[in-house]
Structure 1
């Protein structure tokens, strides 16, 4: 059984990464059930069970089932916490990671205060791990700080969000010196988050400079054929348009929106499956332009989003 369950878990992850989410759900559910049986006979399987629960929660979230995903993530965190209380030297990393996932699931259910609390605890645990072995755990701390910045933003705690985002960028700049290939992607994402935090404090000129750095890293990544989300560049370009509009550079702002649309279509081959993400991008930019007193630009963006959503619904 041990070999079978490991194979099933890996297969489920591969299916999910290939877009076969329903098939992956069946596979990972089976793997999780088998891990439950194994962990009941030996504690050595508890880590694999927690990992499988995290995979299952992530998959349920991708399938648009946030309540179910939260239930699974809460169970993973409960198991990890109990294990860490018994043997912190062994289980502290699992608990820190499980808390990070739990915070994301709570935020998806708009339980923002609970999410922020879980995220803050995750950061604190990763700080303890960094104190022991910084080479291994600094990247995980940066990820947890990024997520904590988002949770503070959910609560409109803009200064706390900014402080977390700044620390995450500082860590990832250091890490990139050692691994320029992998950490270019992560640094770009952290810079994008930092730009949003600066904009939330009405520091638009600084936000623009930071997002321009992030965009350059995205271009560098594409030239080198490195990984990362296909949506990173278009989303950053869309945010750039908002910062430009806030600085009264309206022509440049609309040019940035056009660039965002082009980047999105280039990254996704203009496929209908990603139309919802693009419509969200357009609507976000449209509402932000309206809030900045730019009704014509806002209407153009919102109308385009509506046309895309109508086409997606009829597909």
Structure 2
């Protein structure tokens, strides 16, 4: 966050090394932490432009979290879904768009199931997952499916608009929705969405 990305990457690599060593001796205690560090490392590597290594790190995080979720779904399915969403983005960066979409949809299915049982806790996560799916669909020019996904995401975000992280995410998905509407030729509808964004700007201290 201080802009010292190289040092951040070095620190995260060291964290992975330590946690990997701990997890070798005591997997039950330390594999969840190792998966968390691998997922963070994937993000840092992607920001450094090292996309192949980022993909490998996120794949390992998914493998660990999938195994943990099989034994204890209640504890680890949310983490698995987060890593699946991250992996879908890494796959898209690698040009593997079909796999990216499949992976993103798997994450969405988990969030949808969790949200059915606990809407207050998990509907914003489902909305975020739908936004990723919509982005991937739009990149493939599956525009009507992308529009449907953005519509559902917007509905969910508006239901939880008072939660601090939700408003900037709502703005982001509305921006995507406007772009999709424009690509479909619905210029008036796209302008309506953009007008709402102009009339409802984010507070200066908002963070996505």
Q: Which residue of 2 aligns with 1:35?
A: 19
Q: What CA distance in whole angstroms lies between the structure 2 residues aligned with 1:67 and 1:42?
A: 26
Deviation for aligned residue 1:46: 2.1
Q: Is 2:203 aligned against 1:221?
A: yes
Q: 4+ residue runs of structure 1 moved beyond 4 angstroms?
A: none
Deviation for aligned residue 1:192: 0.7
RMSD of equivalent CA atoms: 1.4
Q: Which residue of 2 aligns with 1:22?
A: 6
Report 1:213-252 matches (<5 A): 213-218=196-201, 220-222=202-204, 226-228=205-207
Gaps of 5+ in 2: none
Deviation for aligned residue 1:39: 2.2
Report 1:45-194 matches (<5 A): 45-176=30-161, 178-179=162-163, 181-194=164-177
Deviations 1:59-86 (A, max 9, x none): 1111111111111111111111111122
Instruction: Pick 1 or 2: higher relative contact order, CA cutoff 8 A, min separation 6.
Output: 2
Q: What CA distance in whole angstroms lies between the structure 2 residues aligned with 1:47 and 1:210?
A: 41
Q: What CA distance in whole angstroms lies between the structure 2 residues aligned with 1:190 and 1:166?
A: 9
Q: What CA distance in whole angstroms lies between the structure 1 residues aligned with 2:92 and 2:165?
A: 28
1:165 counterpart SS class? helix
Gaps of 5+ in 1: 1-16, 230-315
Pairs aligned (count): 207
Q: What CA distance in whole angstroms lies between the structure 2 residues aligned with 1:86 and 1:108?
A: 31
Contact 2:51–2:94 (8 Å) recurs in 1: yes
Deviations 1:110-149 (A, max 9, x none): 1110000000000000001111211111111111000000
Q: What CA distance in whole angstroms lies between the structure 2 residues aligned with 1:170 and 1:135?
A: 14
Report 1:288-307 matches (<5 A): none
Contact 1:191–1:213 (8 Å) recurs in 2: no
Name whichever structure is richer in helix by fraction: 1
TM-score by length of structure 1 reads 0.63
Deviation for aligned residue 1:42: 4.0
Higher gyration radius (CA): 1
Q: What CA distance in whole angstroms lies between the structure 1 residues aligned with 2:191 and 2:112?
A: 30
